[in-house]
A = this chain, B = another copy of it.
């Protein structure tokens, strides 16, 4: 099977890291391709970045359909463009926040999401509610690390994250950490070892959840709110995205 992992931001070093994390856990038979869109922000930090990035996600899914992909993973913890992508993909589409939280719910009595900038907190809290995870997610913690800080060699990002995860365990009573940014995908093992609890990364979780769905022959239902887009005119610079 072929899975397309879309890093909705355009920072290639992060895409490479995400791709490596995805391939690391994929089955031998699974072909993983990790991409950044042709357009959009270099990092996604807030509602504006997120709305813009959805176009890039859509663009990549449309291209992916032509390329014959069996499923898609949206590798930004805001899950931008998820609903739109579901309507246009033949196969299943997951967001990493969604995949990470459902996966964590299988192994944890209560987890903390540890993310980047404070400004993302309300977006993440909204996702916690949207996915029905209020009973499992004890807190969304932010570190005031910028997304691209995670790309800087030799930064103290890792130690800041470990510190915040330790606080989550001690203060929130959480027994598991959900990493709240795709750019942390390479840190899961280290943080788990340092903190002594399972650490769930959405990139890895999402790949396995997609393999599961594709293996089951399951994809987004067309019988309800994720039916294919109706054929209609799109005007101006968006005409290229007109549903066919």
Q: Which residues of A are at the interface with B, using a C-beta cutoff of 8 A?
A: 10, 25, 27, 37-43, 45-52, 54-56, 58, 81, 83-84, 86-88, 92, 94, 98, 102-103, 105-110, 118-123, 125-126, 129-136, 146, 169, 173-176, 196-198, 200, 204-205, 208-209, 211-213, 215-216, 218-227, 229-230, 232-239, 241-243
Q: In the complex, A197→B222 CA distance in Å? A: 7
Q: In the complex, A121→B123 CA distance in Å? A: 22
Q: Which residue of B lies closest to A195 (CB)?
A: B223
What residues of chain B lie closer than 8 Å to A226, measured between beta carbons? 46-47, 109, 122, 175
What residues of chain B lie closer than 8 Å to A132, measured between beta carbons? 105, 131-136
- Asked if A40 meets B236 with Cβ closer than 8 Å, knowing A45-B230, A205-B216, A209-B212, the reply is yes
Q: In the complex, A147→B197 CA distance in Å? A: 26
Q: Which residue of B lies closest to A237 (CB)?
A: B39
- Asked if A88 meets B48 with Cβ closer than 8 Å, knowing A39-B238, A232-B42, A235-B39, the reply is yes
CB <8 Å contact, B103 and A51:
no
Interchain CB contact (< 8 A) of A40 among B209, B212, B234: B234
Q: In the complex, A62→B28 CA distance in Å? A: 32
Report A91 CB to chain B, min CB distance, Å: 10
What residues of chain B lie closer than 8 Å to A102, measured between beta carbons? 102, 105-106
CB <8 Å contact, B175 and A235:
no
Interchain CB contact (< 8 A) of A223 among B50, B88, B197, B235: B197
What residues of chain B lie closer than 8 Å to A234, measured between beta carbons? 39-42, 52
What residues of chain B lie closer than 8 Å to A235, measured between beta carbons? 10, 38-40, 42
Report A18 CB to chain B, min CB distance, Å: 15
Q: In the complex, A56→B198 CA distance in Å? A: 28
Report A177 CB to chain B, min CB distance, Å: 10
Interchain CB contact (< 8 A) of A173 among B47, B211, B224: B224
Report A167 CB to chain B, min CB distance, Å: 14
Q: Which residue of B lies closest to A174 (CB)?
A: B224
What residues of chain B lie closer than 8 Å to A88, measured between beta carbons? 48
Report A206 CB to chain B, min CB distance, Å: 10
What residues of chain B lie closer than 8 Å to A197, measured between beta carbons? 221, 223
